[in-house]
Amino acid sequence: MDLLLAIDGCVAACTPDNPAHADTTAAIGRCLDQGGRVWLYAGTAQGYEDGIRRALEDEANCSAAESAAMQAQQLARHRLAAFTQGKQWLAALAGDCADCAAPNPAQDRLLRALQRFTAGSVKVLTLDPGFIGEHPDQTLTPAAYLALPTSKRRIDFIDLPGQQSFIRPQLEERIHRVLHHGHYILGPEIEELEVHLAQYTGAAHCVAVASGTDALLIGLMAFGIGPGDEVITTPFTFVATAEVICLVGARPVFVDVEADTCNIDPDKIEGAISPRTKAIMPVSLYGQPADMDDINAIAETYRIPVIEDAAQSFGAIYRGRRSGNLSTIGATSFFPSKPLGCYGDGGAIFTNDAGLALAMQELRVHGQERRYVHTRIGVGGRMDTLQCAVLLAKLDRFDQELARRIVVGQRYSQLLAGTPGIKTPVTRADRTCVFAQYTLQVAGRDALAAALSARGIPTAIHYPIPLNAQPAYENLCCPDCTPVAAQLAASVISLPMHGDLTDADQDAITAAVIECNLSLIQVDADSRNTTTG
């Protein structure tokens, strides 16, 4: 449970002589220790400061002395500023002031602000018995909070709320700017984002689109790929990779993957090329680029383009170059769970070819060259301006998050090294992995997932069924043609991964993985002994 501080709660926390100071600070500390957040409401910021100032004046018994009052005000500001470190400011919105004639406007605004949260997930921390008596389900005292049963710290698979807490002011500023200028489609933030992303990847051109799927689809359309054509790709990925090939009328040709990186095996690509092959679409899976130079060399020999599906690897580096700028076209996704994600769908396409960039810009707007002049058959693939605003707010912290993701991934591998029956991910020496997922290979995957779930540790499977074994695609290629992908699908399991995962949580996760895995191995051994005996 999170806490939203009433003015009296904040004053008690900031004034040690207050009788409720000890309980209030203990309640706040407990909330934070359990993974909760402590909110201060911006609509009562002046009230917080004034309340602290009055408490300080009363302590000094000098409210009549102007100089002392000035000292108290400065001290109040200093204490409030220090107290807000590690806390969250909840923005004041227009609807919070709907009833300006309320008997207690400050309390009324707090209750209205509370309605933005999921019911019961946040309560107002206050010392006012009258406030609590009128709203018992929404408020509680510090003592009442401390009397609640201790809740186990929750481990999230991806901690988007935690990430948001670091950038909330930038997010709100960016979103409000869009709400005020009102250009919700192809607003000025679109071009701003495209410039930033192009510079980041080193590509000459970036085209922001509505999703990672649209990025791949528009890339294929820009090459004119259609019925009768073939596109070589991997069966071990999310379905969108093959889906877009089928949507343009072409046929996906599945090539098996490497057992260690889980990426497409370049040694098997050339054998799959036919006169109908019009592109190669490798996927930089789990955040690590595929062997792009080898793939590009094959493509150059046969004069076919390469479209890198970089939906999971934005920010990764391959031989000094960024993923997304490793081939003719790079396509990425900004789905919320990606290393760089927005709060809806979004994607981007990168290229160094001006002609392709122009084609993709037109294709995303229904093939429109200029208003109401359509020179191509396109799609509605424009990115929402609000989603661009979210990404722009995230960019300043992105490199820090990437660096932390790499540290977390490497630390996972160190902690799990040598664990019987577990294969940790392999990152090749000439590239980085941004760990869109941290994925193990475990023989008893399903049993391990169930055991970890029972301990409150979430896991995921990326991906349980190869694309060529999916009902919609099984007619294109037999699963036996890609044995490595089939084996991976039966054994992969992803652990919690995000840039703000603490060492303590990671220690708890890995300890549980090791203990559960060893227990399952013992159960399996006992079962075999019983059977043979």
Residues 491-500 have pLDDT tens digits of 999 999 999 9
- Domains contained in the chain, CATH given: 2-153 (3.40.50.1010), 163-391 (3.40.640.10), 398-532 (3.90.1150.10)
Percent of all residues in the chain with a pLDDT value above 90, rounded to a whole number: 80
- Residue 369 has phi, psi (to 5 degrees) of -80, -45
User: pTM for this structure?
Assistant: 0.90
Res 458 pLDDT > 50: yes
329 to 146, 332, 353, 356, 404: CA distances (angstroms): 56, 10, 9, 9, 28
- Mean pLDDT value across residues 85-102: 82
What is the chain's length? 533
What number of CA atoms fall less than 13 Å from residue 390's CA on the CB side? 20
- Residue 65: pLDDT band (50, 70, 90) is low
Identify any residues that bridge with 374 across adjacent strands, giving them in sequence order. Answer: 368
Residues 329-378 have pLDDT tens digits of 999 999 999 999 999 999 999 999 999 999 999 999 999 999 999 999 99
Res 67 pLDDT > 60: no
- Residue 532: pLDDT band (50, 70, 90) is low
- Residue 533: pLDDT band (50, 70, 90) is low
- Residue 57: pLDDT band (50, 70, 90) is confident
Res 402 pLDDT > 70: yes
Res 61 pLDDT > 60: no
Structure tokens, 166: 């670091």
- Residue 113 has phi, psi (to 5 degrees) of -65, -35
Residue the block writes with tokens 């051994």: 525
Q: Which of 51-65, 112-126, 413-427 tops mean pLDDT?
A: 413-427
Q: Which residue has the higher pLDDT, 307 or 118?
A: 307
201 vs 178: CA distance, rounded Å: 26
- Residue 530: pLDDT band (50, 70, 90) is low
DSSP string, 415-444: HHTT-TTEE-----TTB----SSEEEEETT
Res 466 pLDDT > 50: yes
Mean per-residue pLDDT of the chain: 93
Cβ–Cβ under 8 Å, residues 453 and 471: no
Residues 159-181 have pLDDT tens digits of 998 899 899 999 999 999 999 99
User: What is the structure's pLDDT at 153?
Assistant: 78
User: What is the structure's pLDDT at 63?
Assistant: 47
- Mean pLDDT value across residues 306-324: 98
Cβ–Cβ under 8 Å, residues 284 and 435: no
Coil, helix or strand for 152? coil
Residues 225-251 have pLDDT tens digits of 999 999 999 999 999 999 999 999 999
Res 417 pLDDT > 80: yes
- Mean pLDDT value across residues 410-426: 96
Which candidate, 42, 13, 32, places its Cα nearest to that of 172?
42
The mean-pLDDT minimum among 170-179, 471-480, 518-527 falls in 518-527
Residues 188-205 have pLDDT tens digits of 999 999 999 999 999 999
255 vs 266: CA distance, rounded Å: 9
Q: Which residue has the higher pLDDT, 384 or 526?
A: 384
- Exposure class string for 64-87: b at 16+ Cβ within 10 A, else e: eeeeebebbbebbeebbeebbeeb
101 to 113, 140, 517: CA distances (angstroms): 17, 25, 62
Res 516 pLDDT > 60: yes
Q: HEC states along 272-304?
A: HCCCCEEEEECECHHHCCCCHHHHHHHHHHHCC
